[in-house]
Amino acid sequence: MGTRGIRTSVTLFSGPELAGLWPQPVARLADGERLDLLITFGGDGTLLRGARLLGERDAPILGVNLGRMGFLTTATPDTLDEALAAAASGRYQVDTRCALEARILAPDGTDRAGPLALNDVVLHKGGVARVIGLRVLLQAEEIGRYSADGIIVATPTGSTAYSLSAGGPVVLPGVDALVITPICPHTLAVRSIVVPGDSEVTIEQVPPVGDEVLVSYDGQVGTTLQPSERVLVRRARSAVRLIRLEKEGFFARMRRKLQWGDLSDREQS
């Protein structure tokens, strides 16, 4: 790879879905393959998928935004040369973000693990538009029983995603916390809560159980939750490392990408 006078030898791997699209043969990324860097081309959804693909690998992610929002990405096609040069020479900052792991527990003691989630783990209804009953516990203490469309457990990174749309708070990435946000609760007395980052959040269905309930990871992959099963969500052992090249801070990105605090359409008094 040559970029602005920097030359280094690299071995390129590709996700299995893209391996056949390269102009020259590229090795398919195998399970357990060591990586020094992951580059994602797309928007935030592509970066989230890349984080899930990494699993517990400790490689940083360089996100190149080809989409509309790109809140988590750091480069664009116009700045790609500079981004690759910085990545090759190590001239970048690493933004470490916590992720979530979820286990679906059955009454017989068996469990199934879900994939890594950088933004959120969501329990939500499938099928018809009716609320479902969910019981939420923090450690062993019951928080309450919710009649809602679902429950979001979000990281600080995910606090600006689905949780924010559902009325949750913005939590800065460096804060050691998780956010529990109900989706369209059927009462005015239920709001989001912020809990310590090392918390274990358990969610189970409340009888009578009739509607199909799904568990989604970053809104991209999911599975069905059986009536007798419960979901345990906690901080993952491995973190996600995002490469940062731009100098703007978190709130500057909030203003630019999400129009945070934008009063420009109002007349000056």
Q: Is the pLDDT of residue 55 over 90?
A: no
Cβ atoms of 17 and 41 within 8 Å: the answer is no
C-alpha span between 65 and 245 (Å, rounded): 13
Residue 4: predicted pLDDT:
45
Domains of the chain: 2-98+239-258 (3.40.50.10330), 100-235 (2.60.200.30)
Cβ atoms of 121 and 147 within 8 Å: the answer is no
Q: What is the largest CA-CA distance in the chain?
A: 67
For the full predicted model, state whether its pTM sits above 0.85.
yes
Catalytically active residues, by annotation = 44
**In DSSP terms, which residues pair with 232 in a beta bridge?**
103, 202
Cβ atoms of 99 and 156 within 8 Å: the answer is no
C-alpha span between 182 and 147 (Å, rounded): 9
Locate 65 and state its tokens. Answer: 């935004």
pLDDT category at 256 given cuts 50, 70, 90 is confident
Instruction: For the chain, give the percent of residues with pLDDT over 70.
Output: 92
Q: Is the pLDDT of residue 123 over 60?
A: yes
Q: Is the pLDDT of residue 190 over 80?
A: yes
